[in-house]
Each structure stands twice: as structure tokens, then as C-alpha cells.
Structure 1
Amino acid sequence: MMAVRIITDSGSDCLPGEHPNLDVLPLSIAFGETTYSADVDLTRERFYELLVEGDEFPTTGQVNPYAFSQAISRAQEAGDDVVILALSSKLSGTHQSAVTAASQADGSTEVHVVDTKSVTVGQHILVDYALRLAEEGRSAAEVAAAVEAAADRVCLVALLDTLEYLKRGGRISAAAGTLGEMLSIKPVITVADGEVAILGKARGSKNGRNLLRQQLESAGGIDFDMPVMVGYTGLSDKLLRKYLEDSRSVWESGIAEQDIPSVMVGATIGTHVGPGAIAVAYFKKA
């Protein structure tokens, strides 16, 4: 049986070197004239310092087909089959880059591309699931099929501190953003069918955390046999810790609070949501 190499992009917030069977390809982040590769020459901490201190709003650039081709070639030279899990095709051209590169691969081993229809911790738990399946000895085709089937069960819900960054990035209208700030509105968003949607708006952080908890409860339960993950943007995880304490009842049946994997969300997504956001990702019960 061929070994299976998983390739993803920095939109997943997986770190390079996190797992021996995983390659993480960076999206680019530009502050004015300076372009960085996420998690390669720009740490997550430094990114948030630049985001908060700098005058320039950063822009992100997709992973190009050449970078995917290089990663596929490296895997094929080692004799590995490849499964690529790219961030939602509706949010970035990165998935299309992967499809292009896969179509040009030499055919010496299998290459499969899966649209995760998700991003950040939602994409991350699909990568974790793929790695688990590969370790169990599943073939590349089986891994790709299972991940594709599971993608529709991923719930990704986030509480933002502000709509400012979505507004600046052109993701929502200026009027909606301004109104939100005047009322100190905390939006709760999700990624549904690969696109960002606003689930609700709460006044103040406490109401926002309550709204986030309600969304979890209304989703019909967490499948604790599958990976779960939480994330935060900015330099402090204090808000995330507070949320986990507030919503202990949602988790305690399946996982201890201190065992829930947590990540600092990187530059790819941090650019669009800004600091002070928290996110939760899990699989709904099948």
C-alpha cells in the first residue's frame, strides 16, 4: 500500500512541520510593498502586531498552481499518493490552483483534491481527520472520499469582535459595518456551504458568547469521536478561555476543557476578521 501524503494550505491554520505526513503551503500576505509567506517568514504574533500597529490594511494572495505542483512532485518522488485539502473554493482561488496542479501531475501516483468548503479550524479538523485515516492505512481514494463526505458535517462558528475588518476587506457593506460599531454589535458568523454567513448579532461580548453557545446547542450535538478544535485571533486567548468556561455544559459530556485543541488563527484568516475573534469547529453527529 502506498503511503498517503496530505497537502493543505495556510488557510487551515495548520503549522508547517506539525505532522510528518502533512505539507502546509503558505498563502501570501502583503502589507503595502512587503509580501510575506504565512507562517514561513511572518509569525502569527508578528502578523497581529503589524495588523494593529500598521496603517496599511493587508491583502492575501492564494497559493499558486506552481507551489502545489512542487509539493505534488516531492510526494511522488517519495512514492506517495496525495490528497490535497484546500480552503473553500468560494473564498479563495487556492482550490482551483490545486485542481490545476493535480491535472498536470505525471500520474506516477494518485492525486486527489478535496474542497473542504471550510477555513481555519473547520478546515483544520478535516485535515486532522484525513491524517487519522491515512495512519489507519486507508488508501488515498478512500481518504479523499471520506473527507469529502464528512465536509458537510463540519460546523464552524465564530464570534467576531468587530465588523471593521470584513468591511475593510470588502466582505460586507460599509453601512453594515458602521452601524455595527455604533451599537457595539458582536457578529456571530459561520461558513455555510463554503461561504461566510452572519448567523446573528449580539450587543456586547457576553451576549455574543451566549449566542455562540446557542448555535452549538441548536446544531444537534457534537460528534466527539471526530476531531474538534477552537481558535482565537489576536495575541491573547483570554476571550476563548472565558467562552469555554461559560459553555462547559456543551463540551463536558465528550471532552475535558483542557483537552480541546486550540490554535492562534493565522494571517490568512486574521486579515479578514481582525483580532479579538473566537472560533469553534466540530463535526455534527451523523
Structure 2
Amino acid sequence: MKICRYNIYCAEDLSMTVKIIVDSACDIPQRQGEELGIKILPLRYLLGEEEYLDGVTISNTEFYEKLEGSDLFPKTSQITPYQYEKAFEEALEEYDEVLCMTMSSGVSGCYQSARMGREDFDDKVLVFDSRHFCFSYTVLVKYAVMLRDQGLNASEIYAKLTAALEKVRIIAAFDTLEYLKKGGRISGTASAIGTMLGIKPIITITDGKVDVLKLVRGTKKSYIEVDRYMAKGGEIDLDMPFVCGYTGTSSLRTDNFMEEYGNRYFNKEVEELVVGTTVGSYAGPKAFALAYFVK
């Protein structure tokens, strides 16, 4: 199964009336965001005593290089209402409307910050709670770009996104429980036992939050479980955005899964990205994920 490292939907008309603003939890690189014609507001996080702007002062790959072999756990701060307000103000100097998409309100206060930041702009700014993060947020953002490029206004895009939420799917396989322990999601005892048994958590997003579907033993079984989820979840809509990707500095797990199972689901190239800090902090290296829409 062929995958590509970089694939974009190019914005042909840069004078369009809707500006899409998102946060960096969508895992779209800044350079790609510029080519898509969207503005990506970076989250801030602390790793030890060093502060970083997600995707701006540090790339996802550099993040994993610092994370691996370290006892540190990133502390993320949400985008403030003032930052949203300034972004909306700047966008409305050139565009008629703003559609702001945020990561799930179930895991972050960005949605509430954006709502507060739009108070002075009436109906010129719409704020959409994606109910997702990581790659399922990615495909929603790329769908919004497709709709914008078709000439839809902000309220029309908002309505289409709302209707599409029930069709978004994301499935991921973590390689280790260690980083869930570091983030306080599981106990040290559970992590130690899971590591000893080679346990791999199978993860999705349900109602805007991380949902552990199953715990399996071994990498091969994690591939089988991801394949089973995709097979049972409905026919993939290949006319909609879809992505795959990985955590850490190696795409090996993603490549192996796509080589063995990808042709069952995709008849065209699948964009491959690096999972960002929002999920990567808890996944650690060697996880892989896929996100797509079903018909």
C-alpha cells in the first residue's frame, strides 16, 4: 500500500471570504497550513523548564526526540481568549467571515476560550467544537478546507461539519503503557504489569474523549485489532480526507500496517503525518493511527 509523506488540498483562490482558524492539536504542520490557507494557532507546552510553541519553535519529530528516554511529561496550556480575539481581528481585516475550529471541549478549554474571544464580532465569527483531536481533527479540518474551496460560507461549512461528525472514525494502537503512567492516566503497577505482558492499548475517541477499546498482547495482535475495527466500522468514504501516521521518529509501525492491510481499504495514496503532542504525550513512541470518514 503506497503512502505519501505530504499531501494537501490546495487553495486556488486566496481571496475567498472565509478564513479557517484552528489550533495545533489538529496535527497539521504549519507549512502545510499555510498552503491550505488556514491559520494554525500553536498550543504552548512546558517540557521541564523549557517552553515551546507547538509546531513553531519545535517540530513533532523534535518533540519525540526530547521525550524519549526522559522522565519529563509535557504540561500544555490552552490558547487564551485574547489570542483568539487577536487572531479573529486580524483575519477579519482581509476576510468577511471566520470559522474557528477547536479540539474537543472534552479535553481542552480552547473551545471556551474561542467562544469568549469571539464575543465582540457578532455573527462574523463561528466557533466549531470538533469533538476530536489528533488525526480525526485533521480530517475534519481538511474537510472544512474542501468545503471552503467549493465556495461555501462559514455557516454552511459549520452545518456540513456538524452533519459529518457522526461519520468520523479514528483508531490507534499504542506501543506502551509507560506514557499513560507518566501522564497520570494509569497506576505504576498497571503500567509495569502491562509492559511485562507486552500489552498494547487500542484507542479511539468517543464523545470527545480518549476511549480504550481493548488491550491486546503484542504488535501483531494490535494490527489485527485495528484491521477488525476498520472492517466493522463501515465503508470508508474515499472522496473525503483520510490520513495515517505515527508517533516517535520512525514510521515503521504505520508502514507495516499499511503494507499488510492498507489495500483492503484504500485505492489511492494515504497521507502520512506525525502525531502531535496532544496524543503523543500519552502514547509515547511507536504508536500508529488512522482517521477517515465512513459513508
Q: Structure 2-normalised TM-score?
A: 0.90
For 1:142, the aligned partner's letter is E
Corresponding position of 1:106: 121
Counting aligned pairs with the same residue, the percent is 38
Cα-to-partner distance string for 1:46-66 (whole Å, 9 max, x where unaligned): 111110143322222211112
RMSD: 1.6
1:159 aligns with 2:173: yes
Where 2:118 maps in the other structure, the secondary structure is helix
Corresponding position of 1:275: 285
- CA separation in 2, counterparts of 1:99 and 1:120? 21
- CA separation in 1, counterparts of 2:279 and 2:203? 13
- CA separation in 2, counterparts of 1:250 and 1:100? 45
CA contact (8 A) 2:18 2:153 kept: yes
Q: 1:179 aligns with which of 177, 193, 198?
A: 193
- Where does structure 1 lack aligned partners over 5 or more consecutive residues? none
Corresponding position of 1:61: 77
Cα-to-partner distance string for 1:73-128 (whole Å, 9 max, x where unaligned): 1111113311111111111111111111122x333x61111111111110000000
In structure 2, the CA distance between the partners of 1:100 and 1:133, relative to structure 1 (3 Å rule), is: same
Corresponding position of 2:141: 127
- Where does structure 2 lack aligned partners over 5 or more consecutive residues? 1-14
CA contact (8 A) 1:2 1:139 kept: no
CA contact (8 A) 1:8 1:86 kept: yes
For 1:269, the aligned partner's letter is V
1:97 aligns with 2:113: yes
Name the count of aligned residue pairs.
279
CA contact (8 A) 2:36 2:145 kept: no
CA contact (8 A) 1:44 1:266 kept: yes
Corresponding position of 1:202: 216
In structure 2, the CA distance between the partners of 1:192 and 1:62, relative to structure 1 (3 Å rule), is: same
Q: Which structure would you say has the larger RCO, counting Cα contacts within 8 Å and 6 or more residues apart?
A: 2
Cα-to-partner distance string for 1:186-210 (whole Å, 9 max, x where unaligned): 1100001111111111111011011
1:211 aligns with 2:221: no
Cα-to-partner distance string for 1:210-256 (whole Å, 9 max, x where unaligned): 1000000010221111111111000010110000012134324xx23
CA contact (8 A) 1:60 1:271 kept: no
CA contact (8 A) 2:18 2:95 kept: no
61-70 vs 175-184, greater mean Cα deviation = 175-184
Corresponding position of 2:6: none
Q: 2:157 aligns with which of 127, 143, 149?
A: 143
